[in-house]
């Protein structure tokens, strides 16, 4: 493909003539990157096989990894499934539009390519206004994975999309940085009990509160090497390593105090190597004044605000690569609330590497 057109759109009041240009591309079977409240998506007409195929091609995504469909209303969502259980209704009422993807039994008419042959479909009803207007104007559900090259960190700004996909897609709608900064929570409602496949913008605790029951969490969430069951292994994608920068990610474990000691010792023992450090705000000043400087150092956010850390992590990964880091030490947080999403992405990026 040749040129990628770029349009800046007002996120709080999207200009309809700009949205119309996006919809035009979608209707013709092209690819449009657009912001959602989580990360940027790479959208195509989800009912057009040729368009969907292009998504797999430009991302380098394995065909066995299913796509989710993005809708602009619950009515549109219900048409894409063969059953809409009470749990779906409850969660939809409480959290949609918003950063939650529901996996439900699919209806006929959805191309096999979208679901990778699975009997279920993932539905996402985003709250971002640009996303909503684009879906509405296109008149079809949009298949939209994160708008990155497969395996790279998901894009939280238009510049990340351009870095990965410029020249390969038709259009990018730039609506500024995304709010959540991490992909949506994925919950399967297709089995007997709800199963959390990927933690994200809506927390496990919030879902449990809404459903008034405890939710099982897929093994792979904190142990990516231990996916069990077809659904779980699909969600993990075919590659184990995901969301990762080029630099080797190393998780720093232990109590906050232990983490500081481990980072300092590691820096001291690896003088001359290009080490990046992604720190919590509380520890940032300690590393800033340490005798051995990392090649890249940033504060992700406070230990008491995993939301802040989540919103910074993916762009910090990319910044580490730009700084030429070979390895990047990332401080860890408790896997509760939004911390579960942070730890899931870290586990997947680090594979087994930790100190
Ligand atoms: O926040 C988000 O969900 C972003 C924005 C763009 O909406 N999208 C996103 O899409 O993260 P993607 O394709 O990068 O991640 C969707 C995940 C994949 O890991 C895929 O394997 C899983 O959802 N998935 C899709 N359909 C599924 C299904 N029927 N059963 C189990 N997992 C499924
Ligand atoms: Mg993705």
Q: Which pLDDT score, from 0 to 100, does residue 224 have? A: 82
Which ligand number lies closest to the CA of residue 197? Answer: 1
CA separation for the pair 102, 89 (Å, rounded): 10
Q: Which pLDDT score, from 0 to 100, does residue 235 have? A: 67
12-44 residues labelled b (16+ CB within 10 A) or e (exposed): eebeeebbebbbebbeebbbbbbbbbbbbbbbb
User: Which H helix or E strand runs over 300?
Assistant: strand 296-301
Q: Which pLDDT score, from 0 to 100, does residue 47 have? A: 97
Which ligand number lies closest to the CA of residue 242? Answer: 2
Which residue's CA is the nearest one to ligand 1's atom 33? 235
Determine whether the shortest distance from the Cβ of 184 to ligand 1 is under 6 A: yes
**CA-to-CA separations, 317 to 60, 248, 298, in angstroms, rounded:** 20, 10, 10
Which ligand number lies closest to the CA of residue 41? Answer: 1
- In the reported structure, the alpha carbon of residue 103 is separated from the centroid of ligand 1 by a whole-number distance in angstroms of 9
Is 298:278 a contact under the CB 8 Å cutoff? yes
Which residue's CA is the nearest one to ligand 1's atom 20? 235
Determine whether the shortest distance from the Cβ of 37 to ligand 1 is under 6 A: no
Q: What is the pLDDT of residues 285-311, one digit of tens each?
A: 999 999 999 999 999 999 999 999 999
Is 185:203 a contact under the CB 8 Å cutoff? yes
Q: What is the pLDDT of residues 7-20, one digit of tens each?
A: 999 999 999 999 99
Determine whether the shortest distance from the Cβ of 21 to ligand 1 is under 6 A: no
Q: 261 is written with which tokens?
A: 């000691």
pTM of the model as a whole: 0.96
Q: Which segments of 155-202 does DSSP mark as H helices, in order?
A: 158-165
Q: Which pLDDT score, from 0 to 100, does residue 241 have? A: 66
- In tens digits, what is the pLDDT along the chain, a chain of 355 residues? 579 999 999 999 999 999 999 999 999 999 999 999 999 999 999 999 999 999 999 999 999 999 999 999 999 999 999 999 999 999 999 999 999 999 999 999 899 999 999 999 999 999 999 999 999 999 999 999 999 999 999 999 999 999 999 999 999 999 999 999 999 999 999 999 999 999 999 999 999 999 999 999 999 899 888 777 777 776 666 545 677 899 999 999 999 999 999 999 999 999 999 999 999 999 999 999 999 999 999 999 999 999 999 999 999 999 999 999 999 999 999 999 999 999 999 999 998 899 9
* Closest C-alpha among 81, 80, 72, 1 to residue 47: 80
Q: Which pLDDT score, from 0 to 100, does residue 87 have? A: 97
CA separation for the pair 252, 274 (Å, rounded): 17
Site to substitute for ligand 1 among 59, 101, 149, most atoms within 8 A of C-beta:
101
- In the reported structure, the alpha carbon of residue 145 is separated from the centroid of ligand 1 by a whole-number distance in angstroms of 6
- In the reported structure, the alpha carbon of residue 278 is separated from the centroid of ligand 2 by a whole-number distance in angstroms of 22
């Amino acid at each position: 493909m040749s040129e990628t057109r770029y349009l800046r759109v007002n996120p709080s009041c999207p200009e309809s003539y700009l949205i119309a240009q996006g919809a035009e591309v979608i209707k013709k079977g092209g690819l449009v990157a657009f912001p959602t409240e989580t990360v940027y998506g790479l959208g195509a007409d989800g009912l057009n096989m040729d368009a969907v195929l292009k998504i797999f091609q430009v991302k380098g995504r394995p065909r066995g990894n299913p796509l989710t469909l993005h809708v602009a209303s619950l009515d549109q969502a219900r048409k894409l499934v063969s059953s809409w259980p009470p749990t779906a209704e409850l969660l939809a009422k409480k959290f949609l539009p918003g950063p939650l993807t529901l996996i439900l039994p699919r209806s006929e008419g959805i191309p096999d390519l979208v679901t990778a042959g699975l009997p279920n479909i993932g539905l996402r009803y985003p709250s971002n206004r640009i996303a909503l207007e684009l879906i509405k104007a296109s008149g079809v559900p949009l298949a939209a994975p994160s708008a990155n090259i497969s395996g790279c960190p998901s894009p939280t700004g238009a510049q990340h999309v351009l870095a990965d996909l410029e020249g390969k897609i038709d259009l990018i709608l730039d609506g500024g940085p995304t709010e959540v900064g991490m992909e949506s929570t994925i919950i399967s409602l297709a089995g007997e009990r709800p199963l959390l496949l990927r933690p994200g913008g809506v927390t496990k605790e919030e879902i449990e509160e809404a459903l008034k029951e405890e939710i099982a969490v897929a093994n792979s969430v904190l142990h990516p090497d231990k996916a069990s069951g077809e659904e779980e292994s699909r969600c993990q994608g075919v590659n184990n390593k995901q969301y990762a920068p080029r630099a080797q990610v190393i998780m720093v474990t232990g109590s906050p105090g232990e983490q500081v000691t481990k980072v300092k010792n590691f820096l001291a023992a690896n003088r001359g190597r290009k080490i990046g450090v992604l720190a919590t705000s509380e520890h940032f000043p300690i590393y800033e004044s340490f005798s051995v400087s990392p090649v890249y150092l940033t504060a992700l956010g406070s230990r008491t605000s995993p939301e802040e850390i989540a919103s910074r992590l993916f762009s910090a990964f990319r910044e580490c690569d730009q700084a030429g880091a070979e390895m990047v030490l990332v401080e860890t947080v408790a896997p509760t609330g939004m911390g579960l999403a942070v730890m899931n992405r870290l586990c997947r990026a680090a594979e087994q590497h930790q100190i």
